[in-house]
Amino acid sequence: MQPPDRMTDADRLVEIAYAKVNVALHVRARRDDGYHALESLFVFAQDGDRLEAQASDDGAIDLVIDGPFGGGLEAGPANLVVRAARALQSYLGDQRGAAIRLTKNLPVASGIGGGSADAAATLRLLARLWDVRIEAGELAGLALELGSDVPACVASVTQLVTGRGEHLARHAVDGLEGMPMLLVNPGVGVSTVSVFAGWDRQDRGALDAGSFDALIAGGRNDLEMPAMAVAPVIGDVLAALAGAKGVRLARMSGSGATCFALFDADEAMARAADAIRWTQPGWWVMETRIRRA
């Protein structure tokens, strides 16, 4: 088997770990099991981290990490890519192996599902690589054991997500898929645990995802305020996005610190991205669009 840094195009399979964005995130209650009861509309960018893999028959899972944000991750057994590979091995009951390269294009601990998307992409990638036949329900069970957002990231399509993330329903919203989307992170990572701990436990009502207008008017992210208490610069990002010409919606994703803005036109998104890059050269900016099913 060739090592990950010497794989050729003919040897490898590739998957994209699409960035996850919460268009709205309503926290309804803290559950008895310690998780939170959520209602959220997940969309996925057409871009994200990149994984590639080559099969081996020695049972080893070898991971190499590179990319602009690769330095923030360890490639050991706690990495979600390795954990996902081991979970699929355990399901199969044998020791098929793989050499995997993760190119980390998304910021770490940034509210856009980077680790969860990586785990989900690993499951998709190795299922193809190892020619695995697995029912959707069993795959979802493996994914949920890896993290609350992982099941939704397996399909990476627009979904209404409830419970702790285990209840998923494909949910098209007219005009949303394919929409230009700008992602901005101010260069800080925030702890999901800390942000949830700062939630005030006030139920502000159910999510109406029946239309884009309803998502704008009544949708919210209940973690914005506690996230800004941890990292006040998130407020600066939201202000920069909300003030852009042609923006339809600006909001924080997940537990932060990445925020997003949706636009009707690519040109408006490009102008906003250029302005932010000029005034805030230390911020991470990605121009993308919402992935179609």
Residues 147 and 186 in one domain: no
In this structure, is residue 281 part of a structural domain? yes
Q: Which two tokens stand for residue 92?
A: 């199969």
pLDDT bin (cut points 50, 70, 90) of residue 9 is: low
Number of domains in the chain: 2
Catalytic residue among 57, 149, 174, 274: 149
Convert the pLDDT of each residue in 260-275 to its tens digit: 999 999 999 999 999 9
Residues 72 and 185 in one domain: no
pLDDT bin (cut points 50, 70, 90) of residue 293 is: confident
Catalytic residue among 20, 47, 49, 222: 20
Per-residue confidence (pLDDT) for residue 239, from 0 to 100: 98
pLDDT-above-70 percentage for the chain: 96
Residue with the bigger pLDDT between 72 and 85: it is 85
Does residue 20 carry a catalytic annotation? yes
In this structure, is residue 120 part of a structural domain? yes
In this structure, is residue 128 part of a structural domain? yes
Residues 110 and 194 in one domain: no
For the ranges 60-64, 121-125, 147-151, 231-235, the lowest mean pLDDT is seen at 147-151
Residues 190 and 127 in one domain: no
pLDDT bin (cut points 50, 70, 90) of residue 164 is: confident
Domain containing 241 — which CATH number? 3.30.70.890
Domain containing 29 — which CATH number? 3.30.230.10
pLDDT bin (cut points 50, 70, 90) of residue 215 is: very high
pLDDT bin (cut points 50, 70, 90) of residue 173 is: very high
Residues 65 and 100 in one domain: yes
Residue with the bigger pLDDT between 40 and 3: it is 40
User: Is the pLDDT assigned to residue 107 strictly greater than 90?
Assistant: yes
Edge-first strand listing for the sheet containing 259-263? 247-252, 259-263, 180-185, 284-289
Residues with Cβ < 8 Å from 183, sequence gap 6 or more? 19, 21, 45, 112, 253, 258, 259, 260, 284, 285, 286, 288
User: Is the pLDDT assigned to residue 45 strictly greater than 70?
Assistant: yes
Residues 212 and 283 in one domain: yes
Residues 88 and 211 in one domain: no
User: Is the pLDDT assigned to residue 71 strictly greater than 80?
Assistant: yes
In this structure, is residue 231 part of a structural domain? yes
Residues 148 and 43 in one domain: yes
User: Is the pLDDT assigned to residue 199 strictly greater than 90?
Assistant: yes
Residues 15 and 104 in one domain: yes
Per-residue confidence (pLDDT) for residue 186, from 0 to 100: 97
In this structure, is residue 154 part of a structural domain? yes
Per-residue confidence (pLDDT) for residue 32, from 0 to 100: 85
Per-residue confidence (pLDDT) for residue 1, from 0 to 100: 41
Q: Given 170, 204, 231, which residue is the final one in a domain?
A: 170
pLDDT bin (cut points 50, 70, 90) of residue 2 is: very low
Convert the pLDDT of each residue in 17-36 to its tens digit: 999 999 999 999 998 888 89
pLDDT-above-90 percentage for the chain: 87
Residues 33 and 113 in one domain: yes
Q: Given 170, 188, 209, which residue is the final one in a domain?
A: 170
Domain housing 61: 4-170
In this structure, is residue 175 part of a structural domain? no
SS3 per residue for the chain: CCCHHHCCCCCCEEEEEEEEEEEEEEEEEECCCCCEEEEEEEEEEEEEEEEEEEEECCCCEEEEEECCCHHHCCCCCCCHHHHHHHHHHHHHCCCCEEEEEEECCCCCCCCCCHHHHHHHHHHHHHHHHCCCCCCHHHHHHHHHHHCCCHHHHHHCCCEEEEECCCEEEECCCCCCCCCEEEEEECCCCCCHHHHHHCCCCCCCCCCCCCCHHHHHHHCCECCHHHHHHHCCHHHHHHHHHHCCCCEEEEEECCCCCCEEEEECCHHHHHHHHHHHHHHCCCCEEEEEEECCC
In this structure, is residue 98 part of a structural domain? yes
CB atoms within 10 A of CB 115: 25
Residues 19 and 137 in one domain: yes
Residues 99 and 202 in one domain: no
